[in-house]
């Protein structure tokens, strides 16, 4: 066997071994690709319903927040009305009470003056 024939044979064997390793690598890569595709499909099948549920829950939460906001606004209005009403009631009741107290104090003072005049006589 000549040197050229031996070199050609070694190169052919090396190319065949490289081709076999390339084939095995490609086969393994394709197997991994199929596994990943199945994993992605499974993940998608599991997550899409969860995402839909989350979107639905968010929508319901937004509706509830709008109702709560309306309730808070109504409560603020009612509180303000109550404050104004109690202020008006306080003003309406305070004036007559002050007048009655003043009348009582004046009556006591007048009675005291009359008593002292009676006692001097």
Give residue 1's Cα distance to chain centre: 84
The domain total for the chain is 1
Residue whose entry in the numeric block shows the structure tokens 């499909």: 41
Give the pLDDT of residue 117. Answer: 67
* In-domain check, residue 39: yes
* In-domain check, residue 115: no
Give the pLDDT of residue 105. Answer: 84
* In-domain check, residue 106: no
* In-domain check, residue 113: no
* In-domain check, residue 85: yes
Q: What percent of the chain has pLDDT over 70?
A: 95
d(CA 15, CA 7): 12
* In-domain check, residue 96: no
If you average pLDDT over residues 5-25, what whole number do you get? 95
Its domain, for residue 78, covers 1-91
* In-domain check, residue 111: no
- What is the DSSP secondary structure assignment for residue 121, as one 8-state letter? -
If you average pLDDT over residues 34-53, what whole number do you get? 96
Side-chain-facing half-sphere of 55: CA atoms under 13 Å: 6
| pLDDT exceeds cutoff 80 at 119 | no
* In-domain check, residue 63: yes
| pLDDT exceeds cutoff 80 at 43 | yes
Q: What is the pLDDT of residues 62-115, one digit of tens each?
A: 999 999 999 999 999 999 999 999 888 888 878 888 788 888 888 888 788 777
The string of DSSP letters for 41-99 reads HHHHHHHHHHHHHHHHHHHHHHHHHHHHHHHHHHHHHHHHHHHHHHHHHHHHHHHHHHH
């Amino acid at each position: 066997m000549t040197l050229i024939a031996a070199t050609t044979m070694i190169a052919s064997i090396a190319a065949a071994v490289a081709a076999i390793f390339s084939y095995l690598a490609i086969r393994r890569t394709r197997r991994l690709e199929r596994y990943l595709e199945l994993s992605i499909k499974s993940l998608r099948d599991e997550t899409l319903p969860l995402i839909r549920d989350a979107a639905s829950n968010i929508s319901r939460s937004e509706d509830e927040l709008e109702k709560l906001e309306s309730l808070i606004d109504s409560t603020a209005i009612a509180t303000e009305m109550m404050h104004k009403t109690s202020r008006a009631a306080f003003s309406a009741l305070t004036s007559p009470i002050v007048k009655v107290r003043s009348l009582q104090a004046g009556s006591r003072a007048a009675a005291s003056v009359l008593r002292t005049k009676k006692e001097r006589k």
